[in-house]
Amino acid sequence: MSIRQTALSPGRANLALATLFLGMFVLGSGELLVVGVLDRIAADLHVTIPSAGHLVTVYALGLAIGGPILTALTIKLEKKIVLIGAVALFIACNLVAVLTHVYGLFLVLRFLIGALQGLFIAGAFIAAMSIVPPERIGKAIGIVVSGVAMSGALGLPLGTLVGQTLGWRGSFMAIVAGAVVTLIGTVALIPSVPPAGAGAGHQAKYAFAPRVLAVLFLNFIVFSAVFAALTYLVPFLQEVTGISGAMLSVFLLAYGAATAVGSFGGGRFADRNAGRTLIIGSVGIAVSLLALYLVGSIAWLVALVLLALGLSFYSIVPSLQVRVIVLAGPGGQLAQSLPVSAANVGIAFGAFAGGIAINNYSASATVITGLVFSVVTIAVAWGTGFLKPPRVEESSPATARSVPA
């Protein structure tokens, strides 16, 4: 894939990356926030908690389906304009959500907000890659991805705290305030990023090539493995480890912090050798899940295992993104919106499989389910390491540089 490089000083480039990190953090927190205030939303809108839970489902659908569609529709637009538009519409939709008392409208808004987040993610990756040298692209992607990790580690608990204090509408207004800051930063600090490459129709044949689909399947199975166990981590900690009350938050925070650290380091590993990073990280996930099952009754060891799981998991996320972009070649702009879709489908499938395990067996069975998936992950990661990008001669301006394989 060819990326049009934008010459920026190191300081200006770091500020631009910080803005993209903030955007990913704010939008990611907006995605997760509903989980922490689900009961309050259900009571306020006069629906059941399971019905309120559909807000999570439609958001994931918006991210997985709407995001790639919006990316395809805007693929020929200047990326700074795309980022500004995505954040501005994100703010508008959340403001309407705060004001509405109609559950059906709230569902529609959550789908649209999810789609806008998917559009922002794709644009953020292009912008990040355009403002750093080719040898630092993995690190730039790692910084952007770490915004999502931090939203899980800090955004969710902080948003939940605000929601418990000011109500769920107050917590949504906090997200709006963060998005306004992001919008100002995007206007002031993100440089102009002209579109590169052909239209969506031409890019699609590369973005959906078998070699790209193989890495997207790897993305799917990685998230399935982790979330089969992670979705039911609290019941596991309560029933097997014997942790309850405030200590649950401490263990979850430890995992969240590890994911943030892993995403930063994972960017550097992606620059060195993305394929090898995927294999090592997949092994780390499998070993961590096996250890979690074996030492689940020993609290301090469980804490260490969760740190290892978070580090292993998020250390490979930048490499998953880099491999998809590289293997898509000329279809990289369209393809880079697809990993988040595969991840969300994996999260849903992993949670579903883990739910079957815990309903029919025990909380420990969810860890075994994730472990089985993780073994498959190792094999798929090893196999995708042999895949090569397409050999395509592209005519591009002298300012365009290729993403290193």
* Domain residue extents for the chain: 1-196, 198-389
Rounded to an integer, the average pLDDT of 146-153 is 81
Q: Which residues contact 210 (CB under 8 A, 6 or more apart)?
A: none
pLDDT score recorded for residue 39: 77
pLDDT score recorded for residue 383: 93
Q: Do domains 1-196 and 198-389 have the same CATH topology?
A: yes
Q: Which residues contact 269 (CB under 8 A, 6 or more apart)?
A: 138, 277, 315, 318, 319
pTM: 0.80
Q: How confident is the model at residue 390 (pLDDT cuts 50, 70, 90)?
A: confident
pLDDT score recorded for residue 370: 94
pLDDT score recorded for residue 79: 87
**94 contacts 180 by C-beta, under 8 angstroms:** no
What distance in Å separates the CA atoms of residue 277 and residue 384, rounded to the nearest whole number? 12
CATH numeric code, 198-389: 1.20.1250.20
pLDDT score recorded for residue 403: 53
Q: Is 402 strand, coil or helix?
A: strand
Rounded to an integer, the average pLDDT of 163-186 is 90
Q: How confident is the model at residue 185 (pLDDT cuts 50, 70, 90)?
A: very high
What distance in Å separates the CA atoms of residue 69 and residue 62, rounded to the nearest whole number? 10
pLDDT score recorded for residue 280: 94
pLDDT score recorded for residue 3: 54
- The per-residue pLDDT of the chain, averaged, comes to 85
Rounded to an integer, the average pLDDT of 194-216 is 80
80-110 pLDDT, tens per residue? 999 999 999 999 999 999 999 999 999 999 9
Q: How confident is the model at residue 223 (pLDDT cuts 50, 70, 90)?
A: very high
- Which CATH topology does 1-196 take? Growth Hormone; Chain: A; (1.20.1250)
For residue 358, what are its two tokens?
């815990």
Please give the single-letter amino acid code of residue 11.
G
Rounded to an integer, the average pLDDT of 9-16 is 84
pLDDT score recorded for residue 397: 40
Q: How confident is the model at residue 248 (pLDDT cuts 50, 70, 90)?
A: confident
**178 contacts 314 by C-beta, under 8 angstroms:** no
Q: Which residues contact 222 (CB under 8 A, 6 or more apart)?
A: 282, 285, 313, 316, 320, 346, 377
pLDDT score recorded for residue 347: 83
**175 contacts 29 by C-beta, under 8 angstroms:** yes
Rounded to an integer, the average pLDDT of 169-173 is 91
For residue 16, what are its two tokens?
């631009």
What distance in Å separates the CA atoms of residue 321 and residue 340, rounded to the nearest whole number? 9
pLDDT score recorded for residue 398: 37
270-328 pLDDT, tens per residue? 888 888 999 999 999 999 999 999 998 999 999 999 999 999 998 998 889 889 988 98
34-69 pLDDT, tens per residue? 877 777 888 899 988 778 878 877 888 888 889 889
What distance in Å separates the CA atoms of residue 110 and residue 115, rounded to the nearest whole number? 9
pLDDT above 90 (res 220) = yes
